[in-house]
């Protein structure tokens, strides 16, 4: 892959925060997000409009959004939704650019994650996409369990491509292949990206990788070799899927993405990012 291609980095504080048991004060969240907005990330996955019972940590997303100063940033905002009601709530905030929806290629996980079958989720996506387009916004579709699943549900590049193709027919153009429980390895990561990206040149196909501290570099390298130019990350690797069997498995640390690609290719300012890393300690370590 030529080194001159720019790399899109999507910082995911929502993913990092949502599983934490103790509620993070809204003011603390807003201060952290403000630091991240100063970095120059392409997109900030900042919150979600889902049931407070399902994810209590994100119940203040609208309140936090109202605390942010967006006047000096070009970073786009992404919020996760799981149904029509969440989409309508998110779209009531014009500051939000993207609505993200987790669509699993594993029927078992889709039922566990959104209490809906794949057929029901497809109908939800259609409804959310219609609302999103009407509002002049854009969907980001997360293909969770994109690199395999522990349930015995079918998985191969053809399964992933089948859903990618069907969802793209709805006009969705941004997809994140998500390694939900950290089962992705260099072989299947490269296998997917190198097969799908050339077949769908009009789509933006990115990586949401989970990793252990000793496997991050080989995973990024495999995705990059496969042509991937879009990556999710979370500072210090906070967060990740609680169903991963290895406690060390977490989100891809954003700083590791910069170590691999450098800052110049991402548009992110190094000093601002280092300040955000310091601020993250107040959110996750204090």
Mean pLDDT of 116-144: 96
Summarize the confidence of residues 207-231 as an average pLDDT.
Answer: 96
Read off the pLDDT band of 1 (50, 70, 90). very low
**Residue at token pair 């069907």:** 166
Mapped onto helix, strand or coil, the DSSP state of residue 32 is helix
What whole-number distance in Å separates Cα of residue 148 and Cα of residue 243?
14
| Domains along the sequence of the chain with CATH | 8-284 (3.20.20.70)
Instruction: Please determine, for residue 276, whether its predicted confidence score (pLDDT) is greater than 80.
Output: yes
Q: What integer pLDDT is reported at residue 183 of this predicted model? A: 85
> What confidence category does residue 247 fall into, taking pLDDT thresholds of 50, 70 and 90?
low
Pairing state between β 210-211 and 250-251: antiparallel
The answer to whether residues 249 and 210 touch, using CB atoms and an 8 Å cutoff, is yes
Tell me how far apart the alpha carbons of residues 10 and 31 are, in angstroms, rounded to a whole number.
Answer: 18
- pLDDT on residue 234: 97
DSSP string, 103-122: EESSHHHHHHHHS--HHHHH
Contacting residues for 112 by C-beta, under 8 A, at least 6 apart: none
User: Which pTM value belongs to this model?
Assistant: 0.95
Q: Rounded to an integer, what distance in angstroms lies between the CA atom of residue 48 and that of residue 58?
A: 6
Residue 185 burial by CB count (10 A; 0-12/13-18/19+): exposed, middle or buried?
Answer: middle
Rounded distance between C-alpha atoms, residue 218 and residue 225, angstroms: 10
Higher pLDDT, 21 or 32: 32
Taking only the tens place, the pLDDT of each residue in 179-214 is 988 889 999 999 999 999 999 999 999 999 999 889
Going by pLDDT thresholds of 50, 70 and 90, the confidence category of residue 119 is very high
CA separation for the pair 135, 129 (Å, rounded): 10
Confidence band, pLDDT 50/70/90 cuts, at residue 3? low
CA–CA gap between residue 183 and residue 249 (Å, rounded) = 10
Question: Among candidates 240, 98, 112, 273, which has minimal Cα distance to 175?
Answer: 98
In this structure, is the dihedral angle defined by the CA atoms of residues 196, 198, 200 and 205, taken in order, positive or negative? positive
> What is the radius of gyration, based on Cα positions, of the chain?
17
- Does the pLDDT of residue 143 top 80, yes or no? yes
Side-chain half-sphere CA neighbours of 243 within 13 A: 12
Check pLDDT > 50 for residue 116. yes
């Amino acid at each position: 892959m030529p080194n001159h291609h720019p790399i899109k980095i999507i910082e995911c504080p929502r993913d990092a925060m949502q599983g934490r048991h103790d509620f993070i004060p809204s003011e603390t969240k807003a201060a952290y997000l403000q630091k991240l907005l100063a970095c120059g990330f392409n997109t900030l996955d900042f919150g979600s409009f889902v049931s407070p019972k399902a994810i209590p940590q994100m119940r203040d997303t609208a309140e936090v959004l109202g605390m942010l100063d967006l006047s000096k940033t070009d970073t786009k905002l992404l919020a996760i939704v799981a149904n029509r009601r969440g989409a309508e709530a998110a779209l009531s905030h014009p500051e939000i650019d993207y609505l993200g929806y987790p669509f699993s290629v594993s029927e078992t996980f889709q039922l566990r994650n959104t209490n809906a079958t794949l057929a029901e989720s497809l109908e939800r996506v259609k409804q959310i996409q219609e609302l999103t387009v009407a509002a002049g916004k854009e969907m980001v579709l997360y293909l969770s369990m994109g690199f395999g699943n522990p349930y015995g549900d079918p998985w191969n590049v053809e399964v992933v491509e089948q859903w990618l193709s069907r969802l793209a027919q709805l006009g969705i153009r941004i997809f994140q292949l998500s390694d939900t429980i950290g089962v992705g390895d260099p072989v299947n990561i490269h296998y997917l990206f190198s097969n799908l990206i050339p077949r769908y040149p009009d789509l933006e196909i990115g990586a949401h990788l989970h990793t252990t501290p000793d496997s991050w570099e080989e995973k990024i390298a495999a995705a990059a070799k496969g042509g991937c130019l879009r990556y999710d990350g979370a500072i210090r690797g906070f967060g990740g899927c609680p169903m991963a069997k290895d406690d060390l498995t977490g989100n891809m640390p954003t700083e590791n993405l910069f170590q691999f690609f450098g800052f110049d290719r991402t548009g992110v300012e190094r000093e601002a990012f280092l300040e955000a890393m310091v601020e993250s300690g107040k959110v996750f370590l204090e």
